[in-house]
Amino acid sequence: MENGFSYVDNTLYAEGVALADIAARTGTPCYVYSAGSILSKYRAYHEALADVPHRICYAVKANFNLGVLRLLAGAGAGFDIVSGGELYRVLKAGGDPSKIVFSGVGKTAAEIEFALDQRIFSFNCESEAELALIDALAARRAIKARVAIRVNPDVDAATHPYISTGLRNHKFGVDIAEVERVYERARRLPALALEGVSCHIGSQLLDTDPIIEAVDIMLALAGRLRARGIPIRHVDFGGGLGIRYKPEDEAPEVKRFAAALREKVLDKDLEVTVEPGRSIVGEAGVLVTRVLYRKRTGRKEFIVVDASMSDLIRPALYQSHHEIIPLRRSPALGTVVADVVGPVCESGDFLARDRELANVLPGDLLAVCSAGAYGFALASNYNSRPRPAEVLVEGTAWRVVRARESYADLVRGE
């Protein structure tokens, strides 16, 4: 199953379930994910790397729903976490701690202790101060913490500036020019098992050349470190593979990218970790929304829907494009050029601008596509809007994996 969504007799289905049936039961807005699509993307990584020791550590931040995590844990995935909260979720979902890597520039002592106590696979460390803290906390427990230093390889990921991370002036990682000195100092810290190198250069990369460039840089570094007697055993190349948001996007195929990676690492006697998020769940999710009103102001045509930037902030935050298609397709509808906007009180609250789409009417249902990654994950309660329901479809079965929030949920803790 490629991305899990297709029209059958002009009705949009998620696998074997009509999306309109789900909307009728759960209400809108609501996120719907295809389990088959998620698993097929995971397996594409896993199978292409079959003959090299590897961990596919799904980046939890992209979509942290327990139903999604359980699905991936069941398939044998590892996880890339960036907080104690994500570790808690992965454990709840039955994830195997020995397949967890912990990334991020600002890990707190409490988060590090939680991860040490769970014996996670490795910390991706971003500074000397963090290395010292992990060493101290591991020493107190009389254990050795496996660490990799996150290197900033200084390659240009050529993506949106907010999601590019691998250049020298970004906050992430240790400068490639400094990193060997940092390893030399870190090897004196007794409670660290300094066995890895890691990097992540950015997200939504439609061109894989920069990732492959970073892979070469990292493999060369691993070789130099080994020559110094530092026993590097694993390399983590991060995530970042882009997906198709526009029909004309030429998104890299997971299978081909992973095969290129395999070529690079074969016979290097290294374990390989990747941290894909978006390329596993992005195309496997849609946001279903209902048209509330049509209106015209000045020269502009608006389609007002019940989903907003509080449910899917990507268009407002990154000017990103998400295809918007009707749940019921009909040639008789014709098309219109309009802005698709939500109820939130901000001019920045739009899901599409000046977009040609089906000429839908109030009451009609739309699917905002490729919303499985960084969709619900970035949703908020802005304007006191309850966050939407989430549904997981498996074949002809579906279930709510997160209930729509209630008004009571909105004031919990206040």
Which chain residues interact with ligand LLP by CB under 6 A? Answer: 59, 62, 80, 103, 163, 200, 203-204, 238-241, 275-279, 314, 318, 373-374
CB of 153 to ligand LLP, least distance (A): 13
CB of 80 to ligand LLP, least distance (A): 5
CB of 201 to ligand LLP, least distance (A): 9
First to last CA, the chain: 44
Separation of alpha carbons 377 and 73, rounded Å: 19
> Beta-carbon neighbour count of residue 270 at 10 Å?
23
Burial class (CB in 10 A: 0-12, 13-18, 19+), 319: exposed
Burial class (CB in 10 A: 0-12, 13-18, 19+), 212: middle
Q: Which is nearer to ligand LLP, 152 or 203 (CB)?
A: 203
- Strands 324-326 and 365-368: what pairing? antiparallel
Nearest to residue 26, comparing CAs of 408, 394, 309, 388? Answer: 388
CB of 224 to ligand LLP, least distance (A): 23
Separation of alpha carbons 327 and 393, rounded Å: 16
Catalytic site includes residue 345: yes
Q: Cα dist. 152→82, 176, 214, 252 in Å?
A: 17, 6, 9, 23
* DSSP string covering 307-323: --TTT--HHHHH-----
Q: Which is nearer to ligand LLP, 314 or 328 (CB)?
A: 314
Backbone angles phi and psi of 89, in degrees to 5? -60, -45
CB of 47 to ligand LLP, least distance (A): 18
**Bridge partners of 399?**
392
CB of 274 to ligand LLP, least distance (A): 9
Nearest to residue 148, comparing CAs of 81, 180, 195? Answer: 195
Q: Which is nearer to ligand LLP, 207 or 356 (CB)?
A: 207
**Bridge partners of 330?**
none
Separation of alpha carbons 7 and 348, rounded Å: 31
Contacts of 380 (CB under 8 A, 6+ apart): 310, 313, 387
274 Rama sector, left if φ>0, alpha if ψ -120 to 50, beta otherwise: beta
Q: Which is nearer to ligand LLP, 201 or 338 (CB)?
A: 201
CB of 103 to ligand LLP, least distance (A): 4
Q: Which is nearer to ligand LLP, 322 or 385 (CB)?
A: 322
Q: Which is nearer to ligand LLP, 86 or 394 (CB)?
A: 86
Catalytic residue among 57, 125, 199, 345: 345
Most distant pair of Cα atoms in the chain: their distance: 72
Helical H segments across 195-253, by residue range: 209-227
Helix or strand holding residue 35 (H, E): helix 35-48
Separation of alpha carbons 414 and 406, rounded Å: 15
Q: Which is nearer to ligand LLP, 31 or 374 (CB)?
A: 374
CB of 160 to ligand LLP, least distance (A): 7
Positions marked active-site: 345
